[in-house]
Amino acid sequence: MRILGIETSCDETGVAVFESGRGIVAEALSSQIALHAPYGGVVPELASRDHIAKLGPMLRELLAAAELDMNSLDAVAYTAGPGLIGALMVGGSLASSLAYGLGIPVVPVHHMEGHLLACMLENDAPEFPFLALLVSGGHSQLVRVAEHGDYSIVGETLDDAAGEAFDKVARLLSLPYPGGPALAALAEQGNPERFDFPRPLRNKGLDFSFSGLKTAVRIALQALTADAELDDATRADVAASFQAAVVDSLAGKCERALEATGMDRLVIAGGVGANRALRQRLAAMGERLGVRVYYPRPALCTDNGAMIAYAGWRRLAGGQSGAAPIVARPRWPLDELRPPQSAQPTGGGL
14-to-31, 51, 61, 185, 319 alpha-carbon distances in Å: 9, 9, 12, 25, 25
* pTM (whole model) above 0.75: yes
Q: Are residues 235 and 272 in the same domain?
A: yes
CA distance 222 to 261: 42
**Within a domain: 133:** yes
Q: Where are the alpha helices (DSSP H) in 14-125?
A: 33-36, 44-65, 85-102, 111-117
**Within a domain: 289:** yes
Range of the domain at 78: 2-117+301-342
Q: Are residues 65 and 35 in the same domain?
A: yes
pLDDT at 344: 56
**Within a domain: 142:** yes
pLDDT at 338: 95
Q: What are phi and psi of 11, to 5 degrees?
A: -115, 20
Q: Are residues 279 and 217 in the same domain?
A: yes
279, 295, 311: which is the final residue of a domain?
Answer: 295
Which helix (H) or strand (E) segment holds residue 162: the answer is helix 162-172
CA distance 305 to 59: 11
How does DSSP classify residue 205? S
Q: Are residues 56 and 152 in the same domain?
A: no
Q: Are residues 7 and 57 in the same domain?
A: yes
Chunked mean pLDDT (size 10), the chain, 350 residues: 98 97 96 96 97 98 95 97 98 97 97 97 96 92 97 96 95 94 97 96 93 96 91 97 98 97 96 93 97 94 97 96 88 95 55
pLDDT at 168: 95
pLDDT at 133: 97
**Within a domain: 348:** no
Q: What are phi and psi of 144, to 5 degrees?
A: -85, 120
**Within a domain: 123:** no
**Within a domain: 91:** yes
Burial annotation 22-55 (CB, 10 A radius, 16+ → b, else e): eebbbbbbbebeeebeeeeebbeeebbebbbebb
CATH number at residue 105: 3.30.420.40
Q: Are residues 155 and 243 in the same domain?
A: yes
**Within a domain: 209:** yes
- As for how many domains the chain has, the answer is 2
Q: Are residues 231 and 315 in the same domain?
A: no
Q: Are residues 181 and 62 in the same domain?
A: no
pLDDT at 228: 85
Residue 281's Cα: distance from chain center in Å? 19
